[in-house]
Structure 1
Amino acid sequence: MYRCFTPGAGACIDSRSVRPKCIFFGLPGARVDGADYARAALAAGARLAVVERADLEGVEGVVVVPNAREALQQVALLHRDTLRIPIVAITGSNGKTTTRLLTVAALATELKVWGTEGNLNNDLGVPLSLLGLQPGIDIAVLELGANHPGEIRALCQIARPTHGLITGIGNAHLEGFGSLEGVAHAKGELFEYLKETGGLAFVNGDDKLVVQMAQRVHMGCMASSYTRAAYRAQGHLDANGFLSLEFTWASRQYMVNTQLAGLYNIPNVLAAIHVASYFGVEMPRVVEGISQYHPENNRSAIVQRGERRLLVDCYNANPTSMRAALESFFSLPSQEEKVAILGEMRELGSASRASHAEIVELLREHPDVGVVLVGKEWSGLEGDYPRFDSCEACKDSLQSYLPNGVLVLLKGSRGVELEKLLEIL
């Protein structure tokens, strides 16, 4: 099967995104069986269609396998063996996508870089990203996501990273990990893999749990640590809410003016600076790349809508990222009235009630900030705030609640779909 793979053509699991000479993997799903689209994929130019359906045996261009998902991973592994470039894996509870995109932006000023596309960071996305690597690439930056123990290790077995970074460890996906310690050990699987294979870890020395995971596997000289103190990094928000970071490198001072919202992005910017400089990118070019990065997918973006200013960070949320976003929002110097529209935090399991209560307690410490809560997890908690079960339910009331000239924070888990509110804001 791999003999039919064409570097540059890649692979896909959606017949609508077929490229000439790619391999189409028709995966069975809960609602749709990808095998139903095998003929359409071949007609669109796919070289092969890999499916699990025996009734397609003998159809020209179709390969029937026991497990199409495993076949995709196996082809990706075979392709990985042909690559002779550094592969940097990034994981963490918060900021991994932003860190990955910033790192790619910084590296791309001097190197040919390939990065995870969109949110392809699971056991399907990682092999698709590997198979999408274009010829002539100098370095790849892949994102690894997980919500259960063992997933990071499994993804490492596919991606086989030579370098790795854990952005930070916080209370995310507690439903799957069980506890903060469970999160730490699961993310630490990246460091374990690098230790076993002789790779190098970029260690966020400002995150105690990340440091503990590095110490647990005795990274030693196989680690490159970075801290705010080492870079003498000082961050601040300008009048429009954009983050600027002043830092020192090789006895010279630099200032990077980002297009990101929130002081909580300081560790993400610092990680990108550290990784890019490690791979030899000149610091002025690093600053240039990061400065030119535009936030995407409703992450840390500042949007002007008429007289309203929106801080849009509603791609995902957990107790750690929610608290960081709110504290940055509270500290933002502004003459505008502030309103926080918060979606519920999901996948917290038994910790959900207490986690939402802690956020409400934080909100009550800032009575001058308006609050709108979206999602059933907020129900029954203290505070006289407008509450709605869904975005659709609050749309009609929101327009009258928000005056012009207001500064709005949108923060919540992806499943709440807070981005729908952008239609009326």
Structure 2
Amino acid sequence: MRNMTLAHVAQVVDGQLVTPAGTEALKNTEIQGAVNDNRKVEKDFLFIPMVGARVDGHDFIEDAFSKGALASLSERELDNPTGPYIIVKDTKLALKQIATDYRMQLSIPVIGIIGSVGKTSTKEMLASVLGTKYEVLKTEGNFNNEIGLPLTICRIKDEHQVAVVEMGISDFGEMHRLGDIAKPDYVVMTNIGQCHLEFLKTRDGILQAKTEVFEHMNKNGAVILNGDDDKLINADTLGIRRIFYGLNGQEVSASDVTAEGMTGTRAVINAFGDTFEANIPLPGTHNVMNALAATAMGKELGLTDDEIKRGLEKASTIAGRNNVIEVRDITIIDDCYNANPVSMKASIEVLGKAPGRSIAVLGDMGELGEDERQLHYEIGQALEDNHIGYVFTVGELSEEINKSLSQKNSSCMAHHYADVEAMLEDLLPIIRGGDTILVKASHFMNFSTVVEAIKTRFE
């Protein structure tokens, strides 16, 4: 990390640099990265211990030194440390201060990915597109909060030419703090959906919270907006240039969209007057929208149509994010990392287009506020509309899905369970060759165990 010497870091965090005997000269050495997990320490990294509910990172400072850490932060004096450390009041705050200072030294474009649904998938697709021309740093997994974002900024190296960072919030003010760290040159906004309603209350509240980022943007940059979203089409970007994408005649749009089952979707992409066909290797209309966002950003950064096409056609997703897994002749749609009403309905639509029998394994969606039961109840209509054959629900709130189907006298074979173990006892024996199984719930439901159980049974 250029210019980030220990002496400079100590100044940035308003901390006291302590150099045990023999380490005084290290104060002018640059750190090569910063991590809060001692297992990820590399040579000359800065270790940032954090105090959690169950684990105190300070207990692993010496392990970090043994793995090559140049120095550590600490909220207290250390006994006989084997390396330099910087005493600070709050290591989490210090991490943000370090990332903010480092960001100010960077000259590469930083692209922030924001929205209620599709941030991670859009981030992966955009990185794939930009990777055909540039060396890209992207957020790992879902590191998009007030710890994950600064850690991502600290991963940017001299060889990187563009950074794609995911920015996730759940309350007012958070985007101000994230925006102040990332100071994005560009922002891609996927949509304003029904999530984090527990704190943000309404879609207008969500819009207000997410658009806090505009106050921290490069005023000469651009905002890439989903023009099919009724809230974003009129979003006030504080004078920053707007570019719209969507299926309804936006500056970047798609036509002749053809579903290819679980293998993906074919579409003709129309971008600022240029046209090309792409085979997007991810199923669902929502992934066409992600491709349009990536196309708009690719155009903005000077990519050719051929480079954009190649990037779209090699795009992939990550575990738990609409990830299609083939186990013998069974297809699993692993979408169990997170869930809200918009993403739940989109995944059910994908399942409805699958060949063979369709099975939906659904769990509770979190942070939906006072309307949480009604929002779960409405999922039943999506299952009915998409002619899903079997529905297995788990959790107190998901019982509303089952109730909805029962009251509609639905043709869906619906079953509800209090826990995953009981559900699996009934689910696993009925699965047969040719089935497609959607597994989706909010992360706290731990539905990754469902995916693993199915894989283990049939591998």
Q: What is the TM-score with the length of structure 2 in the denominator? A: 0.86
Aligned match of 2:190 in 167, 172, 177? 167
1:29 aligns with 2:52: yes
For the residues of structure 2 that align with 1:112 and 1:131, how far apart are their CA atoms?
Answer: 16
Q: 8 Å contact 1:264–1:328 — kept in the other structure?
A: no
Q: Which amino acid aligns with 2:374?
A: A
Instruction: Tell me the distance in 2 between the aligned counterparts of 1:71 and 1:79.
Output: 12
1:361 matched to 2:400: no
Shift of 1:333: 5.8
**407-416 or 239-248, which deviates more:** 239-248
For 2:269 and 2:387, the matched residues in 1 are separated by: 35
- Could you say which residue in structure 1 is the equivalent of 2:159? 136
Unaligned runs of 5+ in 2: 10-28, 407-413, 455-459
Out of 30, 41, 45, the position equivalent to 1:18 is 41
Alignment of 1:114-153 (within 5 A): 114-153=137-176
One-letter code aligned to 2:377: A
Tell whether 2:442 aligns with 1:413: yes
CA distance in 2, matches of 1:8, 1:278: 33
Letter in 1 for 2:125: L
Query: What is the distance in 1 between the residues matched to 2:266 and 2:244?
Result: 22
CA–CA distance in structure 1, aligned partners of residues 394 and 146 of structure 2: 31
Partner AA of 1:119 in structure 2: N
Q: Which residue does 2:242 correspond to in 1?
A: 223
Q: 1:73–1:127: 8 Å Cα contact kept in structure 2?
A: yes
Counterpart residue number, 1:272: 294
2:341 is the counterpart of 1:319: yes
Displacement of 1:190 in angstroms is 2.0
Q: Structure 2 CA distance, aligned partners of 1:119 and 1:387?
A: 30
Decide whether aligned partners of structure 1 residues 108 and 7 sit closer, same or farther in structure 2, where only a CA change above 3 A counts.
farther
1:359 to partner: Cα distance: 0.9
Q: 1:260-313, CA deviations, whole angstroms, 9 ceiling, x for partnerless residues? A: 122221211110011011100111111111211222122122222222222222
Alpha carbons 1:38, 1:62 under 8 Å: kept: no
Decide whether the 8 Å contact of 1:259 with 1:295 is kept in 2: no
Q: 1:162 touches 1:194 (CA, 8 Å); kept in 2?
A: yes
The match for 1:400 is: 429
Contact persistence 1:57–1:64 (CA under 8 A): no
- Aligned match of 2:418 in 362, 366, 389? 389
SS in 1 for 2:231: helix
User: Does the Cα contact within 8 Å between 1:126 and 1:144 map onto a contact in 2?
Assistant: yes
- Percent of aligned positions with the same letter in both sequences? 29
1:100 is aligned, of 115, 120, 123, to 123
Amino acid at match of 1:80: R
Aligned pairs for 1:156-305 (under 5 A) are 156-194=179-217, 197-213=219-235, 215=236, 217-219=237-239, 222-228=241-247, 229-230=249-250, 231-234=252-255, 235-249=257-271, 251-305=273-327
Cα deviation, residue 33, structure 1 = 0.9
Question: Aligned in 2, Cα 1:206/1:302: closer, same or farther, shift over 3 Å?
Answer: same
**TM-aligned CA deviation for residue 409 of structure 1:** 1.7
Q: Secondary structure at the match of 2:105?
A: coil
| Per-residue Cα deviation, 1:80-129 (whole angstroms, up to 9, x for no partner) | 12111111111100001111111111011011111112211111111111
Aligned-residue CA RMSD (Å) = 2.2
Post-superposition shift, 1:243?
2.0
What is the CA distance between 1:45 and its match in structure 2?
Answer: 0.6
CA distance, structure 1, for counterparts of residue 222 and residue 262 of structure 2: 38
CA contact (8 A) 1:95 1:167 kept: yes
Residue 296 of structure 1 aligns to which amino acid in structure 2? I
Task: Check whether the contact 1:9–1:20 (CA below 8 A) recurs between aligned residues.
Answer: yes
Provide the TM-score with structure 1 as the length reference. 0.92
Change in 2 beyond 3 A, CA 1:405/1:79: same
Does the C-alpha gap of structure 1 residues 318 and 115 become closer, same or farther in structure 2, counting only changes over 3 Å?
same
Give, in angstroms, the shift of residue 159 of structure 1: 0.9
Give, in whole Å, the separation in 1 of the partners of 2:313 and 2:221.
Answer: 29
Q: Write the distance in 2 (CA, Å) between the matches of 1:265 and 1:246.
A: 13
Q: Secondary structure at the match of 1:81?
A: helix
User: How far is 1:13 from its partner?
Assistant: 0.4
Structure 1 pair 226–265 and aligned structure 2 pair: CA distance change class (3 A): same
2:368 maps to a residue whose letter is L
Deviations 1:338-381 (A, max 9, x none): 11111211111212111111112333455652111122212363
Say which SS state the counterpart of residue 317 (structure 1) adopts. Answer: coil
Could you say what secondary structure the match of 2:175 adopts?
Answer: helix
* Paired residue type of 2:318: E
Distance 2:152 2:166 in 1: 10
CA drift at 1:244: 2.1
C-alpha distance 164-393 of structure 1, shift in aligned 2 (>3 A): same
Counterpart residue type for residue 262 of structure 1? G
Supply the distance in 2 between the matched residues of 1:219 and 1:401 (Cα, whole angstroms).
57
Amino acid at match of 1:348: L
Q: How many residue pairs get matched?
A: 419
Stretches of structure 1 that go unaligned for 5 or more consecutive residues are: none
**Structure 2 Cα separation of the partners of residues 371 and 167 of structure 1:** 29
Structure 1 residues 413 and 206, CA gap change in structure 2 (3 angstroms): same
Shift of 1:198: 4.5
Match status 1:424 vs 2:453: yes
- Which amino acid is the alignment partner of residue 390 of structure 1? D
- Measure, in 1, the Cα distance between the counterparts of 2:195 and 2:450: 24
Choose the corresponding residue for 2:5, options 3, 6, 9: 3
User: Using the alignment, how far apart are the partners of 1:281 and 1:412 within structure 2?
Assistant: 37
In the alignment, the residues of structure 2 paired with residue 94 and residue 191 of structure 1 have an alpha-carbon distance, to the nearest angstrom, of: 19
